[in-house]
Chain A
C-alpha cells in the first residue's frame, strides 16, 4: 500500500500482533450452565446487528473478515472476528471487546473507523455485547490476516477518529422512552442500536457523521439510495401498514416493494432471521416516525416532451411486466405506482436498476428472486432519463425530472 510505511502504527490491523496471554473466553464459559442460553442470545444479537454482512466475505469462512466496505473516503476491509489468537480476536479480553463495540477502540488502542457501526452498537449493554462475544467464541478460529485499512491519505490516520468521535459519537446505552410501549421501545432499540438502520438511511455530513436532525430520511451510499423510512407520503412509508413492513423485512417482498442491492443482503442475513415479534416492534417504531417537512413535489406535466418520449419507451420496454398502470405483478414485479424508491428525491436507485438491472433477494418466504434486466445497453442517456422521468411522474407519482447528465454519471 502507498502509505504503508508510515510510522504512526495506527493502521495496525485490528487484533494483529501483540500476543498477550489473555484468558480465553472459552475457558471462562466452559463450565457455565448458562452457556447455551448466553451463546444463543449472542447469536441472535449478532443477527440483529448483521455482523456477518461485513465480517463474512463472499465465499469466505464465517466471520473471518476481508469483505470490502465502501465508504465515501475509501475502502475499509472488515476484520477477522473469529477466535483465532493471531489474526482474529482470540486474544482479546472481555473488556477489549466491550470497548471496541461501545467506544470504537480496538484492543491495542487503535481507533476503529465508523464503517464498523460502533456509534449504534454502543446502544447495547455490556451484557448484550458479552453475549455476542460468547457466540463468536464458539466459531471455528480461522487464521486469516486482514489488512483492514485500505484508505488513502489523509484518512489513513486513525488518530483523526479521536476528533471525529468528539464531534459525532454519543456513546450511551439505550434508554427506554417513558410513555412508549415495550414494543415501541424494543423497536427503537433494534433500529437505533444493533440494527444500525441509520448507518445507511440517515444522511451524512461531509465528515461522515449522521445528520442528527434528519434521522432516517434516506441517503445515498455505495451507488444506491437507501430510501426514506419516515412516514413521508411520497418517498416514505406512509402507505405501508405495520404488517407490510414485517412482510418486507421477513420475505424481502411486500405489496409495495422488493428488496435489492444492499438491503437484499440485510434481509437475507439479518431481518429474515429475526423473530416476528422483533419485526413487529421495528414496524411499530418506524410507523411512529413523523415525516419531515419537505417541499411537496409537483408532477412533471404529461405533455412535457420527456414524459411523452418516456411513455413510448415505457410501453415498449417496461409495460409487459410493470403493467400499463404501474401496478406490477403480485409477488414478482414490484409496483412503480406510489413507490417510495421511484419517487425518492435522489433517483440513484431507480436509475441504477434501469441501467444495470438488479435481482431481488431470495428468502424462505419469497424464494423466487426475480430480476430486472439491464436496459443500459439499449437506452441512450436521454431515453433512460425520459423513461425515469415518466415513471416518477405517472399514475399519481410525482418527483423531480431526471436529467441526461444524472443518468450519464450513473452508467
Chain B
C-alpha cells in the first residue's frame, strides 16, 4: 500500500548537478525541498578518498559508480526493421547513479556552446538555404539565446572554479583564448591547468598551420579556489583518474565539491537516497503534477506530494519517466507528431593515434580536461557550403589518463593479449599519443526514444527503447574533422598515425561518450518541443525538466557547461517569475 508523506514545496527527482543547483536556489528562496535519488549518498571523504579512488579495475572496468543494468536498463536498435534488445552491460555511454550523478565521474571539460548553436535552424537556413539541410534532419532553435544564457554560464563556471583562458571578454578578443567563443562577461575564475608535453606539441603544430590553439576549460582546478557559496576546492594533482572516478582531492568540480556542503546545512532541504521514483502523479485534469511516487530500498511504496516537480535525472531517465507518467504526447516517427522522445541525439567523436620514436609523453601526468584545442572546425565557424554537411566539433590533444588496463594506445593490428601485446605496450606506453575530435550530432526524424513493447524492468515498467543510428551528414563531418586533425598531428612529427574517423552503424557496445541528448526538448512551439524556453512543461506547468534531455540537438562540445547554464536560467525563471505567479511562463 502506498503511504502518503507530508507535502513538500518542491520535489526533485535525481540529485546530480541540475538537482543540486535547483535545490540550492529553491532552498535559498525559502522552499522546503525534498530530493529523491535512486542511487546511494556519495561523498568525497567516505566514497572516494585518495587512498583507494584510483582503482581502474573497480571503477573503470567494473563500473562501480554506475547504475546496475539489472536495476534499470534500456533496449536499443539502429533502425525500425530491427527488434530492440536490452543493454545488459554498459558500453557506448555510462548512466550515472547516486548523489552527484554524472558530476561525480565526469572528465570536467567545461565548455560553452557557440551563439549560433542556439539558433541553429535559423542560422543554417539563412546562410546556406533550407535545401542544404538533409530532408529528414529535425534540428531547431532552442528558444533561448547565448546572450540570455551568458549569466548562467558565468555562474556555473564560478560555482565550479573552472580553469581556462577567455578568448572574448565583452566583445574584446583575448590572445591565447578561444577566438570563436561567444562574448563572456569576465575571464574564467582560475587560470588554465599546466599543459603537459603532448598538448604543448599539438598547440605548436596547430599554430604552424595558422590555427588558434587555446587551453581546454577544465573543472579540474589549476589552483585552490573558494566558490561564491564558500565551498573550497583544491588544486588538481594530475593523477589522471577523472572520468569514471570520483575525485579524492576535492579538485574536480562536482555537486560534492561545490554545492552539497551548503545543502546539507539547510534545514529546509532533505535528500532521500536509494529511492526510485516510479512516476510523476497528475491530478484529474492531467494538467497539474501532484508529486511523485517512489519505491524505497525495502520495496515500500511512498507518495511524496509537492507543489512543484523538478525532473533532474539523467537524460534518458527523464524521458522514461515522462513516458511512464503519461505526460505530453509520445513521439510517433511515422507521422512526426508528438514530442516526448523526439529528437534524441548523441555525440560524434573520432581520434587520431600517433606513434613517435623519440618523444616521451608521460601519459600518467593527466587530468580529465587538460589539453590544447582548436575551434576552427566547430559549429559554423567554417564554410560548409563546399563540404556538403553541417555541424562540426572541437579537436585537440587532451591528456586524460595513462591508466594501465584500458588507457593504452597501441598500433592497429597489435594482438590483444600475450607476448606481442606486452611488447607493444612496453614500446608505446610513453611514446604513443592520441588526439581527438568532439563533434556535433544533429537530430533526425528516425532518432527517438519510446517505450519498449517487450521488455520490462524489475518494477514491471516498460523499458525505454533507444532508436538511433548515425546519419551520412555526421559521418561526413567526422571524416572531415579527422582529416583536419590528422594534418595537425602529422606536424607533431610522428613516425606513423592511425586515423579513426567515426563510422556507422552506431554501436551500443563501444564506449564513445555519455553525452546522450534530447527526448524532451525545449523550444518555442509545443508541436515540436516538450518544454518552453524556461524548461517548463507545456502540458503540466508545475513540472520543469533539466539536463541534456532538453537539447534539441547536440553541439560540438561536452554538454555539462550548457546544462549548468540552462539550470541557472531555469532557476531564475522559477524564483523570479514562477513562484510569484505559478502557471505557464509562456502561453502555449
Q: Which of A199-207, A237-245, A362-370 contacts B (4 or more CB under 8 A)?
A: A362-370
Query: Does A357 lie at the interface of the complex (its beta carbon under 8 Å from any beta carbon of B)?
Result: yes
In the bound complex, residues from chain A placing their C-beta under 8 Å from that of B248 are: 373
Q: Which of B32-40, B121-129, B233-241, B325-333 contacts A (4 or more CB under 8 A)?
A: B233-241
In the bound complex, residues from chain B placing their C-beta under 8 Å from that of A317 are: 51
CB-based contact A321/B261 at 8 Å: no
Chain B positions 237 through 261: 1 when the CB is less than 8 Å from some CB of chain A, otherwise 0: 1010000000011100000000001
Query: Does B229 lie at the interface of the complex (its beta carbon under 8 Å from any beta carbon of A)?
Result: yes
CB-based contact B51/A321 at 8 Å: no
- The distance in angstroms between the C-alpha atoms of A366 and B232, with both chains bound, is 8
Within 8 A of B (CB), among A359-402: 359, 362, 364-371, 373-375, 377-378
Within 8 A of B (CB), among A319-336: 320-321, 329-333
CB-based contact B51/A374 at 8 Å: yes
Q: Which of A367, A369, A378 contacts B51 (CB 8 A)?
A: A378
Which DSSP category, helix, strand, loop or mixed, fits chain B's interface? loop
Number of A-B contacts (CB under 8 A): 67
Interchain nearest-CB distance for A357 vs B (Å): 7
> Given contacts A320-B249, A332-B224, is CB(A375)–CB(B51) below 8 Å?
yes
In the bound complex, residues from chain B placing their C-beta under 8 Å from that of A321 are: 50, 234, 237, 249
Interchain nearest-CB distance for A324 vs B (Å): 12
CB-based contact A331/B45 at 8 Å: no
In the bound complex, residues from chain B placing their C-beta under 8 Å from that of A375 are: 51
Q: Which of A320, A364, A369, A377 contacts B50 (CB 8 A)?
A: A320
- The distance in angstroms between the C-alpha atoms of A378 and B230, with both chains bound, is 33
Query: Does B44 lie at the interface of the complex (its beta carbon under 8 Å from any beta carbon of A)?
Result: yes
Query: Does B412 lie at the interface of the complex (its beta carbon under 8 Å from any beta carbon of A)?
Result: no
Query: Does B62 lie at the interface of the complex (its beta carbon under 8 Å from any beta carbon of A)?
Result: no
In the bound complex, residues from chain B placing their C-beta under 8 Å from that of A367 are: 229-231, 261-262, 265
Chain A, Cβ-Cβ closest to B264:
A362
CB-based contact B45/A370 at 8 Å: yes
Q: Which of B50, B224, B235, B265 contacts A373 (CB 8 A)?
A: B50
CB-based contact B230/A365 at 8 Å: yes
- The distance in angstroms between the C-alpha atoms of A393 and B231, with both chains bound, is 32
CB-based contact B232/A332 at 8 Å: yes
> Given contacts A321-B50, A367-B230, A373-B248, is CB(A362)–CB(B44) below 8 Å?
no
CB-based contact B224/A364 at 8 Å: no
CB-based contact A332/B233 at 8 Å: yes
In the bound complex, residues from chain B placing their C-beta under 8 Å from that of A329 are: 224, 232, 234-235
In the bound complex, residues from chain B placing their C-beta under 8 Å from that of A332 are: 224, 232-234, 250
In the bound complex, residues from chain A placing their C-beta under 8 Å from that of B239 are: 320
CB-based contact B234/A333 at 8 Å: yes
- The distance in angstroms between the C-alpha atoms of A194 and B50, with both chains bound, is 40
Query: Does B151 lie at the interface of the complex (its beta carbon under 8 Å from any beta carbon of A)?
Result: no
- The distance in angstroms between the C-alpha atoms of A329 and B237, with both chains bound, is 12
- The distance in angstroms between the C-alpha atoms of A367 and B248, with both chains bound, is 17
Interchain nearest-CB distance for B239 vs A (Å): 7
Chain A, Cβ-Cβ closest to B263:
A367
> Given contacts A320-B249, A365-B230, A368-B231, is CB(A331)–CB(B224) below 8 Å?
yes
CB-based contact B45/A359 at 8 Å: yes
CB-based contact A373/B51 at 8 Å: yes
In the bound complex, residues from chain B placing their C-beta under 8 Å from that of A331 are: 224, 226, 232
In the bound complex, residues from chain A placing their C-beta under 8 Å from that of B233 are: 332
Interchain nearest-CB distance for A355 vs B (Å): 12
Within 8 A of A (CB), among B261-275: 261-262, 264-265
CB-based contact A357/B49 at 8 Å: yes
Within 8 A of A (CB), among B209-235: 224, 226, 229-235
Within 8 A of A (CB), among B422-463: none
In the bound complex, residues from chain B placing their C-beta under 8 Å from that of A320 are: 50, 237, 239, 249
CB-based contact B262/A373 at 8 Å: no
In the bound complex, residues from chain A placing their C-beta under 8 Å from that of B49 are: 357, 371, 373-374
In the bound complex, residues from chain A placing their C-beta under 8 Å from that of B46 are: 371
CB-based contact B226/A364 at 8 Å: no
Chain B positions 287 through 324: 1 when the CB is less than 8 Å from some CB of chain A, otherwise 0: 00000000000000000000000000000000000000
In the bound complex, residues from chain A placing their C-beta under 8 Å from that of B230 are: 364-368
- The distance in angstroms between the C-alpha atoms of A377 and B232, with both chains bound, is 28
Chain A positions 346 through 362: 1 when the CB is less than 8 Å from some CB of chain B, otherwise 0: 00000000000101001
CB-based contact B50/A368 at 8 Å: no
Within 8 A of A (CB), among B36-89: 44-46, 49-51
- The distance in angstroms between the C-alpha atoms of A369 and B46, with both chains bound, is 12
Interchain nearest-CB distance for B584 vs A (Å): 37
CB-based contact A371/B261 at 8 Å: no
CB-based contact A368/B232 at 8 Å: yes
Interchain nearest-CB distance for A64 vs B (Å): 20
- The distance in angstroms between the C-alpha atoms of A321 and B249, with both chains bound, is 7
Chain A, Cβ-Cβ closest to B231:
A368
In the bound complex, residues from chain A placing their C-beta under 8 Å from that of B264 are: 362
Interchain nearest-CB distance for B116 vs A (Å): 39
Chain A, Cβ-Cβ closest to B258:
A368
- The distance in angstroms between the C-alpha atoms of A394 and B297, with both chains bound, is 50
In the bound complex, residues from chain B placing their C-beta under 8 Å from that of A357 are: 45, 49
Chain B, Cβ-Cβ closest to A368:
B232
Within 8 A of B (CB), among A146-173: none
In the bound complex, residues from chain A placing their C-beta under 8 Å from that of B249 are: 320-321
In the bound complex, residues from chain A placing their C-beta under 8 Å from that of B262 are: 367
Chain A, Cβ-Cβ closest to B262:
A367
- The distance in angstroms between the C-alpha atoms of A269 and B265, with both chains bound, is 14
In the bound complex, residues from chain A placing their C-beta under 8 Å from that of B231 are: 367-368
In the bound complex, residues from chain B placing their C-beta under 8 Å from that of A373 are: 45, 49-51, 248
CB-based contact A371/B51 at 8 Å: no
Chain B, Cβ-Cβ closest to A376:
B51
- The distance in angstroms between the C-alpha atoms of A378 and B232, with both chains bound, is 28
Residue picked from A320, A333, A368, A370, most chain B C-beta under 10 Å? A368
> Given contacts A320-B239, A329-B224, A332-B224, is CB(A370)–CB(B50) below 8 Å?
no
- The distance in angstroms between the C-alpha atoms of A359 and B44, with both chains bound, is 11
In the bound complex, residues from chain B placing their C-beta under 8 Å from that of A377 are: 51
In the bound complex, residues from chain A placing their C-beta under 8 Å from that of B237 are: 320-321
- The distance in angstroms between the C-alpha atoms of A331 and B233, with both chains bound, is 8
- The distance in angstroms between the C-alpha atoms of A331 and B232, with both chains bound, is 6
- The distance in angstroms between the C-alpha atoms of A377 and B52, with both chains bound, is 11
- The distance in angstroms between the C-alpha atoms of A102 and B46, with both chains bound, is 43
Interchain nearest-CB distance for A147 vs B (Å): 32
In the bound complex, residues from chain A placing their C-beta under 8 Å from that of B265 are: 362, 364, 367
Within 8 A of B (CB), among A59-108: none
- The distance in angstroms between the C-alpha atoms of A332 and B261, with both chains bound, is 13
- The distance in angstroms between the C-alpha atoms of A317 and B50, with both chains bound, is 9
- The distance in angstroms between the C-alpha atoms of A369 and B264, with both chains bound, is 11
In the bound complex, residues from chain B placing their C-beta under 8 Å from that of A374 are: 49, 51
CB-based contact A330/B224 at 8 Å: yes
In the bound complex, residues from chain B placing their C-beta under 8 Å from that of A370 are: 44-45, 232, 250
In the bound complex, residues from chain A placing their C-beta under 8 Å from that of B50 are: 320-321, 373
- The distance in angstroms between the C-alpha atoms of A374 and B249, with both chains bound, is 14
Residue picked from A364, A370, A374, A378, most chain B C-beta under 10 Å? A370
- The distance in angstroms between the C-alpha atoms of A364 and B237, with both chains bound, is 28
Chain B, Cβ-Cβ closest to A363:
B265
- The distance in angstroms between the C-alpha atoms of A216 and B237, with both chains bound, is 39
Chain B, Cβ-Cβ closest to A378:
B51
Interchain nearest-CB distance for B349 vs A (Å): 30
Apart from A331-B232, A368-B232: 16 A-B pairs, beta carbons within 8 A? A321-B50, A329-B232, A330-B226, A332-B224, A332-B234, A333-B234, A366-B232, A367-B262, A368-B231, A368-B261, A369-B45, A370-B250, A371-B49, A373-B45, A373-B51, A374-B49
**A: which residues have CB within 8 A of B?**
317, 320-321, 329-333, 357, 359, 362, 364-371, 373-375, 377-378
**B: which residues have CB within 8 A of A?**
44-46, 49-51, 224, 226, 229-235, 237, 239, 248-250, 261-262, 264-265
Q: Report the 4 A-B pairs with minimum CB-CB distance, sorted nearest first.
A: A371-B45, A373-B49, A331-B232, A320-B237
| 10 A/B residue pairs, CB under 8 Å, sorted by A | A320-B249, A331-B232, A332-B233, A364-B265, A367-B261, A367-B262, A371-B46, A373-B49, A374-B49, A375-B51
